[in-house]
Amino acid sequence: MSLRSQLCARLAFPACMALSAACGAQNGTTGSRSGDASSDTGAGPDVATGAGIEAGSPDSAGAGGPTGDSGVASSPDADAGAGGMLGRPSAAVVADAVSATLSYYHRNASTGDIWCLPCDGAPVMLAVASYTGDSSADARLLAQMRYLLGNGNDPFGTGGYAANDERNATAMYAIAKLVPRVWSQLTSAETHLIDLIMEATLVASVYSTSDKTNTNGAPNTLDGINDANRDFNPNYREGMIGAVIVGTEYFGGQGPTEAMLNAYDHAAFTAGLKTAGLNNLYFTFSTYLTNSAAPSPQTVEQGITGYAMHGITLGQMLDMYVYLATNTFSATVACGLDGGAGIGGAGKILSGCSGLPNVGMVGEELEFDSDDAQGLRSDASYVHLGERDDLLNQIVVVAYGDWMSTSAATAVLGPLAIGVGDYFYKITQGYEDYSHGVDEGSFKCGTNTDCPLNQAFWTEVLAPAHGL
């Protein structure tokens, strides 16, 4: 049986897709929980050893994929770059992204919480639309790219939990760079600022996730926080390790990226962020000046050379992605904790349990059945962060031509498809979240996330890219 047939049989959705776009309207005002410093231990299969991952993926060349039509739903037009094939998002989804409020980042000065508002994936969908030849997204994409380049709107680049929100910006920039029609409209000053953002987010997560810096446990992040472990739940690891994937692709693969990291001067780079007016990044990178808990410039510089993450190097982008996805979609599909009964009415689907597809199969996103510092966790809002970042990380890997049909890469698509469908089924019905030992309230399409837009990252963009 072909992979396509296997997935159709598993998913049991019309046309092998995961529910209809009736999932709900966009809510452009909801931020994610990037200020929540929880100890997400990430129960479930840990793939820290890299077992089952096929080594030896070719070095990320930055533009190594096919440029012709390979039967995918849509291929990049002649001006869209030379990466892998991505499906073209529908006009309705593109319109949804175009109408979304521009995303930006900010910090609550009194609590220290870091937020991305709205962190709905629209910037990345705009970039994907332009990449696949839909010029109707170009103007809004350029506006969004520019909106983050100053005025306190830039990402923070901590290398920790907040990295899950950075993908909203960094995946957008990485994909847009492959679209000359769009990229050529930026000034040299603007591309310099984008390069600084991409280098900062890369350096921060290379430092926090490297084997070298994790020898004696997780290091403090660049802002002096000690609650950021690369082996925590997907809402941590997909953001942190995903930043390494996306940044490496953006800078041209292993060779150019390692050369940049080897030449990195933390004090000089920090001063450059201040001069550039990237105030959020400067806040993070200058923490060492006022807080001894933050790593020193020398410590950062030593920590980012010779990168490997559980033995996976910067020349193995696909292997690194498979490592993430294997963990993220590793739980067994169920209606909730305790066989669907939940805990005190939380940690369970609110309705539709009898119709839940794929019960008992592997692929449920881990944070539907995981734990945190206070005990069990089954929380759709945290699932959203890991699931979303996983798809955005994969989109970048595919766009840069690094997706190959290795046995490990092909094998991860089955659980992933099950997990994405499971997530959207549950939040269409409504899910009562349970984490940190308490009922966290309900999470549902139309109130907490933009279902049609986020679902389309799989159903319209990635599934067609894999011929599904």
The per-residue pLDDT for range 265-287, each reduced to its tens digit, is 999 999 999 999 999 999 999 99
Judge contact between 10 and 418, C-beta under 8 A: yes
Can you list the positions of beta strands (E) in 65-180?
A: 104-107, 114-117
Q: What is the pLDDT of residue 113?
A: 87
* 75-121 per-position pLDDT tens digit: 444 454 444 689 999 999 999 999 999 999 999 888 888 889 998 89
Question: Does the pLDDT value for residue 254 go beyond 90?
Answer: yes
Question: Does the pLDDT value for residue 34 go beyond 50?
Answer: no
**Spatial distance between the Cα atoms of 462 and 468, rounded to a whole number of angstroms:** 9
User: Average pLDDT in the 425-439 region?
Assistant: 97
| Beta bridge mates, 375 | 372
**Spatial distance between the Cα atoms of 406 and 327, rounded to a whole number of angstroms:** 18
| Beta bridge mates, 343 | 346
Judge contact between 81 and 180, C-beta under 8 A: yes
Q: Which two tokens stand for residue 99?
A: 């109408």
Other Cβ atoms within 10 Å of 116 Cβ, number: 22
**Spatial distance between the Cα atoms of 152 and 77, rounded to a whole number of angstroms:** 35
* 175-214 per-position pLDDT tens digit: 999 999 999 999 999 999 999 999 999 999 999 999 999 9
User: Average pLDDT in the 318-345 region?
Assistant: 97
Residue (of 54, 33, 14, 31) closest to 367 by Cα position = 33
Lookup result for tokens 């966790």: 377
User: Average pLDDT in the 249-259 region?
Assistant: 98
- More confident: 42 or 258: 258
Question: Does the pLDDT value for residue 362 go beyond 90?
Answer: yes
Torsion sign (Cα): 357, 359, 365, 367: positive
Go through the chain and tell me how many residues it has.
468
Other Cβ atoms within 10 Å of 243 Cβ, number: 31
Other Cβ atoms within 10 Å of 19 Cβ, number: 21
3-state secondary structure of 48: coil
User: Average pLDDT in the 374-381 region?
Assistant: 96
**Spatial distance between the Cα atoms of 103 and 450, rounded to a whole number of angstroms:** 14
Q: How far is CA 228 from CA 203, 219, 322, 461, in A?
A: 15, 8, 21, 31
Measured in whole angstroms, the distance separating CA 248 from the mean position of its chain's CA atoms is 14
Q: What is the DSSP letter of 215?
A: B
